[in-house]
Structure 1
């Protein structure tokens, strides 16, 4: 499967360009909409919770600490949710193309992955400008975002492809995930700090593979610190298992995908 994807790499690159152009078509702001939506959501949370959460960050003197903390977590979650949610529906959305054109079906979620990474880089560039406006300048810890992006992409890709295949045969998967992703968001320390979580809920937060990945972004962008590499291993392990399982399920279901659509 990977060899077939590599042989169609030019098709994938052209499709990523076409996907980005299609999403920006007839829009005066174009790519800025993919930046403005998460920034607007973060602004709303910051306005509502800034005073409350600022008191929970006593060791940081920066007045913009909570908005920076929030934007960092939202950036990590945005990459994860975009890859997962789009991969979940990509086979259904491209059903007509799959019936008319012969190409490796695995190219579709790979196109989603490439498009999401480009959007994420644009968002990080916008966040960098906002941080500099706050007087918070980037440090070398920003380079830690590269392995963070890789692990998040692997995790989201594996879960997204696995559920995307199942969604073709059972459309309730997408409906269930729309609710589950909201719960997953609030069980990830993005809007709140991990230190304010009641002890009875802490085990659930620790089992969440997105907790250390969001923490990587927050430590790198707010504190200019590297992550705890030991803490990232569960996310890496879970992502590897998800990718392997998705490949097995995809390979077995691939001959029946078009018929089910």
Structure 2
């Protein structure tokens, strides 16, 4: 971690350069980062709002389902993009790892940092949509940065572990993509938990992503404080995964270049 701190300016400049190069020839630029999740949310809202809108307790707005969906998509977009970026980062940057001397741990941090920038623009767009729809925020929304931070650390730690494994077994990236597709539908993003049987809900509550999405919904949509037990559990898991990722990386880093 000390080496990562020493190379912090390298990390920041790399994120900035990646951002610039990604949209250097695009007329819409950073707008592309928010178009896909916004369009996806509009499609889901159009198709499902008439079915689920009447089952959103505590929200009086006629746009209740759209608000609920956007908040969930915001949480999912960060988690999904960070994990998938980190899973592939060592394989994608194999040539760079062999030619340039720098702490390899910077690579997943840079990839995750780029995803965080993307999510920041999506957050701004979603907050604007909320305001245009007449939704007001409570003081609970001030906790959103902390929730985003927990989501980021959890996804970065998990993605780094999977990225290391992907160097050895290339099927890991494909398997992760399939698992994430299933996890999306097992998380209350396009539906609400109250439509589920209690047995199913109890099982899904074991998922840390479920708890993160619930925290986004509580602060942004319902204007309530998120469940402290949920957040503390995910924060503890994120910290444990971060420690494990560092230990695993130190043990595997010397062999990664040969494996690549």
TM-score bin (small chain): over 0.9
Q: CA RMSD in A?
A: 1.1
Give how far 1:138 is off: 3.1
TM-score (norm 1): 0.97
User: Over residues 24-67 of structure 1, what are the superposed CA-to-partner deviations in whole Å (9 max), with x where a residue is unaligned?
Assistant: 12111010000111101101100000011111124421001100
Structure 2 unpaired stretches of 5+ = none
Q: Which residue of 2 aligns with 1:252?
A: 251
User: Over residues 70-90 of structure 1, what are the superposed CA-to-partner deviations in whole Å (9 max), with x where a residue is unaligned?
Assistant: 000000010111111100000
Q: Is the 8 A contact 2:58 2:222 kept in 1?
A: no
Q: Which residue of 2 aligns with 1:179?
A: 178
Q: Which residue of 1 aligns with 2:95?
A: 96
Q: Is the 8 A contact 2:186 2:204 kept in 1?
A: yes
Structure 1 unpaired stretches of 5+ = none
CA distance in 1, matches of 2:209, 2:57: 25
Q: Which residue of 2 aligns with 1:76?
A: 75
Q: Which residue of 2 aligns with 1:86?
A: 85
Q: Is the 8 A contact 1:128 1:138 kept in 2?
A: no
SS of structure 1 residue aligned to 2:199: coil
Q: Is the 8 A contact 2:78 2:116 kept in 1?
A: yes
Q: 1:234 to 1:58 in 2, by over 3 A?
A: closer
Q: Is the 8 A contact 2:69 2:189 kept in 1?
A: yes
Q: Is the 8 A contact 1:4 1:104 kept in 2?
A: yes
User: After the TM superposition, which parts of structure 1 deviate over 6 Å for at least 4 consecutive aligned residues?
Assistant: none
Q: Which residue of 1 aligns with 2:107?
A: 108
CA distance in 1, matches of 2:160, 2:37: 24
SS of structure 2 residue aligned to 1:55: helix
Instruction: State whether structure 2 residue 50 is matched by structure 1 residue 55.
Output: no
Once the two structures are superposed, the pairs formed by residues 95-244 of structure 1 within 5 Å of their partners are 95-244=94-243
SS of structure 1 residue aligned to 2:205: helix
Q: Aligned residue pairs: how many?
A: 260
Once the two structures are superposed, the pairs formed by residues 13-32 of structure 1 within 5 Å of their partners are 13-32=12-31
CA distance in 1, matches of 2:90, 2:145: 28
Give how far 1:231 is off: 2.1
Give how far 1:113 is off: 2.1
CA distance in 2, matches of 1:216, 1:201: 19
SS of structure 2 residue aligned to 1:200: helix
CA distance in 2, matches of 1:259, 1:102: 15
CA distance in 2, matches of 1:194, 1:70: 13
CA distance in 2, matches of 1:144, 1:29: 31
